[in-house]
Amino acid sequence: MNKISMSKALRTRRILIYIVFAILTIISVLPLIMMLINSTRSVIQINTGVSLIPGSSLIHNIEVLFQYGFNMARGVGNSFFVAAASTIISVYFSAMAAYALVAYDFKGKRLIYGAIVALIMIPSQVSMIGFYEFMIKLNLLDNFLPLILPGLAAPATVFFLVEYMSTVYNKDYADSARLDGAGELKIFHRVMLPMMKPGLATMAIFGFVFSWNNFLMPLILISKQSMYTLPMIVQTITAMGAGGHTVEWGAIYVGLSITVVPIIVVYLLLSRFIVGGGNAGGVKG
């Protein structure tokens, strides 16, 4: 095959790849676009079918949303507090566990790592009833702590950070810091955490999104309306349409749009580290 034929084949392959990526992008973005458009349409317009033309009922839908009596600002604050605290705790302690598993050699290391990997396979719903009963005994219902503290043990985050750190860890850095008189905690904070920053940012995005969208666990543990998270408020408004009552879908789409905004902001703030994490993970020093 001559150079001209190879060039044409390569160009054709690239075009096909771009077409596939474009289709996947449209499939991924279209539901978000439809949600934003439906938040501007009336109930009648939404029930008539799908449309890509925005309506003129956005203000009305916002007014209807706030007429349900829920404090949306408080819901956003509750969700953000839980998601941010859970994410910070999860990422920090998972990074500490990953550092220990990568940097130190000790008995039972493989067994502990194997147990962490095995825990990833266990669905959280399996332990939900037992966790609820445990929280009752600790008198922690209607409390944000049960939604935050489980982040201390995040097997998936530990697994990812172990795999990531194994590609960037350099023992010489830690040894040099020890020669300068630095303790283990100082080495972890001053040397290792900056090295792990791309991986930490990546897991922070996933952790924040998971905690922000978490509905089932807050539903089980929280009954006070003042402590409702935003997904709980939106779902409660949807449930109000049961029993033959009209569901204000326009207002619900406005609520869903509000829930997406913080996720997009967090992603935009941290996504630049994802590329850095991929590059760093691909080269071992």
Q: What is the CATH number of domain 65-276?
A: 1.10.3720.10
Nearest to 200 by CA among 277, 264, 284: 277
Phi-psi region of 112 (alpha: psi -120 to 50; beta: other; left: phi over 0): alpha
Q: How far apart are CA 35 and CA 264, in angstroms?
A: 14
Note down pLDDT in tens along the chain; length 285 residues: 566 777 787 888 889 999 999 999 999 889 889 999 999 998 888 888 888 888 888 998 888 888 887 888 899 999 999 999 999 999 999 999 999 999 888 888 889 999 998 988 888 788 888 899 999 999 999 999 999 998 888 899 999 999 988 888 888 888 888 888 888 888 888 888 888 888 899 899 999 999 999 988 999 999 998 899 998 988 888 777 655 556 788 888 998 888 888 888 888 888 777 655 444 444 444
pLDDT, residue 2, reads: 63
Residue 90: its pLDDT value, please? Answer: 94
Report pLDDT for 274. Answer: 67
Residue 279 confidence (pLDDT): 44
> Tell me, what's the pLDDT at 248?
81
pLDDT of residue 194: 86
For the stretch 11-16, contacts whose Cβ atoms lie closer than 8 Å and that sit 24 or more positions apart, written own/partner, are none
Residue boundaries of the structural domains of the chain = 3-57, 65-276
- CA atoms of 119 and 122, how far apart (whole Å): 5
For 42-79, give the secondary structure using H, E and C.
CHHHHHHCCCCCCCCCHHHHHHHHHHCCCCHHHHHHHH
Q: How far apart are the first and last CA of the chain?
A: 38
* Cα–Cα distance, 241 to 184 (Å, whole number): 57
CA distance 121 to 155: 10
DSSP state of 127: G
Residue 76 tokens read as 């956003």
Quote the tokens at residue 41.
């349409």
CA–CA separation, 193 vs 161, rounded Å? 11
Q: ∠ CA(151), CA(154), CA(155), 5° rounding?
A: 170
